[in-house]
């Protein structure tokens, strides 16, 4: 208790002095800020994680309008809730807002000192990584080359759902099956190998744990010199999680490197993975290739503009054109230069699996467990109470499983 009191007292004192200093020296006009004490707002939601933060943001937007400013510790941040304002800033003035602010202490560790696509400063290395991602693993021809993998994952997903219950369709937690299927497919696209179930679950565990435990370590960013002294055990826990994360992914990267070297001697053909493209990538500033530890933090998710939803693209025996037609409906993945490059792949998988799951099963609500669209924050906003449903297999016909 005494430790928390000391931290809060020192933080409030420093924030008050900082606020007075900034009022005199900052000539840039900022949107309204609800807190006289810069540090006071963050401490209201810090211990609650992102759930508390976004509830706090919604209340402030409701009171002060669509654009507000908050000073999160020492970093000023502007939050925009209006779509037209976001489009004006991120698209019409994309070059102005394309850079990233310096990472907080825990963020520097997680992103290898801001050397990932989602955190890197706007420059030659960031452009190289993004171009590699969009022109290599996410090129339409490369995405199409994984059609057999998608079909295999779909078959496995349908089999898992069928085997879960009887013909009446015992209730299932839908997200559990979908999450495993998506990890199976994305791990294969990233590492190029069909891993066993245990390996996939290990990757899923460390990735998901990192995302879900980040709010727990936010407090470490509040005056690190103090937290490293008073919250030493939490720092140790954070660093332990990072080591375990790397210990799961590094063997997969090394295995892939070894396979590529062996294939050169045997002329064995293989489908290129995302890791393959990174192993030969040369950083422009340092004129060197990425090492294995850096490859761990490369972001394998990419996108284009949202594809128009056309279920017929996935029904039939012929291979489909995954480029499809485009239509801008919303900005769920960002916009402008920082737009998530993985939206094309995300929309392809969304349409492909939803259409085929509807084709294979009749989905029924579970009595007494109705659909609840309440939200909670994980890495993204998800259902607070995961969807439960009965999946009853439809009458079999002679059509083949679809490909995409």
What is the distance between the alpha carbons of residues 50 and 384, in angstroms, rounded to a whole number? Answer: 13
**pLDDT given for residue 337 in this prediction:** 73
In total, the chain counts a number of residues equal to: 404
Q: What is the dihedral of CA 134, 135, 140, 142, to 10 degrees?
A: -110
- The first and second tokens of residue 331, run together, are 């900005």
**pLDDT given for residue 330 in this prediction:** 39
Number of domains in the chain: 1
**pLDDT given for residue 302 in this prediction:** 33
Q: Is residue 398 part of a domain?
A: no
**What is the domain extent for residue 248?**
82-393
Q: Is residue 65 part of a domain?
A: no
Q: Can you spell out the DSSP letters for 187-238? A: HHHHH-S---HHHHHHHHHHHHHHHHHGGGGGGGGSSHHHHHHHSHHHHHHH
What is the distance between the alpha carbons of residues 52 and 218, in angstroms, rounded to a whole number? Answer: 12
Encode pLDDT of 203-240 as tens digits.
889 988 888 888 788 888 877 888 888 889 999 999 99
Q: Is residue 209 part of a domain?
A: yes
Does the pTM exceed 0.85? Answer: no
**pLDDT given for residue 226 in this prediction:** 83
Backbone angles phi, psi at 29, to 5 degrees: -70, 135
Q: Is residue 187 part of a domain?
A: yes
- Please give the distance of CA 156 from its chain centroid, rounded to a whole number: 24
What is the distance between the alpha carbons of residues 148 and 154, in angstroms, rounded to a whole number? Answer: 10
Q: Is residue 158 part of a domain?
A: yes
List the Cα angle 200/203/208 in 5-degree steps. Answer: 120
Backbone angles phi, psi at 383, to 5 degrees: -70, 130
SS3 386: coil
Report the candidate in 286, 288, 290, 265 with the shortest Cα–Cα distance to residue 276: 290
Q: Is residue 61 part of a domain?
A: no
User: CB neighbours of 65 closer than 8 A, spacing ≥ 6?
Assistant: 31, 32
Q: Is residue 126 part of a domain?
A: yes
Q: Is residue 173 part of a domain?
A: yes
CB-based contact 166:391 (threshold 8 Å)? no
CB-based contact 15:41 (threshold 8 Å)? no
CB-based contact 200:187 (threshold 8 Å)? yes
The strand pair at 381-383 and 375-377 is best described as antiparallel
User: Euclidean distance between the first and final Cα of the chain, in Å?
Assistant: 57
Q: Which residues of the chain have pLDDT under 50?
A: 24-25, 299-309, 311, 313-326, 328-331, 398-401, 403
The stretches of 1-119 forming alpha helices (DSSP H) are 2-25, 40-45, 50-64, 83-87, 105-110
Q: What letter does residue 402 receive in the DSSP assignment?
A: P
What is the distance between the alpha carbons of residues 393 and 373, in angstroms, rounded to a whole number? Answer: 26
CATH number, residue 230 = 1.10.630.10
- The first and second tokens of residue 328, run together, are 């801008």
CB-based contact 307:347 (threshold 8 Å)? yes
What is the distance between the alpha carbons of residues 21 and 71, in angstroms, rounded to a whole number? Answer: 14
User: CB neighbours of 126 closer than 8 A, spacing ≥ 6?
Assistant: 117, 120
CB atoms within 10 A of CB 88: 14
The strand pair at 172-173 and 288-289 is best described as unpaired
**pLDDT given for residue 326 in this prediction:** 33
List the Cα angle 187/191/192 in 5-degree steps. Answer: 100
- Please give the distance of CA 64 from its chain centroid, rounded to a whole number: 30
């Amino acid at each position: 208790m005494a430790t928390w009191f000391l931290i809060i007292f020192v933080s409030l004192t420093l924030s008050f002095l900082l606020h007075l200093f900034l009022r005199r020296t900052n000539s840039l006009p900022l949107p309204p800020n609800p807190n006289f004490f810069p540090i006071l707002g963050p401490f209201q939601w810090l211990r609650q994680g992102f759930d508390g933060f976004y509830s706090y943001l919604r209340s402030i937007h409701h009171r002060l309008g669509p654009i507000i400013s908050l000073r999160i510790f020492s970093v000023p941040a502007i939050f925009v809730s209006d779509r037209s304002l976001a489009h004006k800033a991120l698209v019409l003035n994309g070059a102005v807002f394309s850079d990233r602010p310096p990472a907080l202490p825990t963020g520097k560790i997680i992103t290898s000192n801001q050397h990932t696509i989602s955190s890197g400063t706007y420059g030659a290395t960031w452009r190289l990584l993004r171009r590699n991602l969009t022109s290599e693993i996410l090129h339409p021809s490369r995405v199409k080359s994984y059609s057999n993998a998608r079909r295999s994952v779909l078959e496995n997903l349908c089999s898992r759902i069928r085997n879960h219950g009887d013909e009446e369709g015992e209730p299932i937690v839908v997200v559990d099956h979908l999450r495993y299927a998506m990890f199976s497919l994305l791990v294969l696209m990233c590492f190029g190998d069909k891993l066993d179930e245990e390996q996939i679950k290990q990757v899923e565990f460390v990735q998901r744990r990192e995302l879900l435990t980040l709010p727990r370590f936010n407090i470490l960013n509040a005056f690190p010199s103090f937290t490293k002294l008073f919250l030493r055990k939490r720092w140790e826990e954070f660093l332990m999680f990072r080591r375990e994360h790397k210990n799961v992914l590094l063997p997969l990267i090394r295995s892939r490197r070894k396979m590529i070297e062996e294939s050169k001697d045997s002329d064995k053909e293989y489908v290129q993975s995302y890791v393959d493209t990174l192993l030969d990538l040369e950083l422009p500033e340092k004129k060197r290739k990425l090492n294995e530890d850096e490859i761990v933090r490369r972001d394998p998710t990419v996108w284009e503009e949202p594809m128009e939803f056309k279920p017929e693209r996935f029904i039939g025996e012929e291979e489909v054109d995954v480029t499809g037609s485009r239509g801008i409906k919303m900005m769920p993945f960002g916009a402008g230069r920082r737009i998530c490059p993985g939206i094309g792949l995300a929309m392809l998988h969304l349409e492909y699996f939803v259409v085929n799951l509807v084709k294979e099963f009749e989905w029924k609500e579970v009595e007494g467990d109705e659909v609840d669209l309440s939200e909670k924050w994980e890495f993204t906003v998800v259902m607070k109470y995961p969807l439960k449903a009965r999946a009853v297999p439809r009458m079999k016909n002679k059509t083949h499983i679809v490909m995409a």
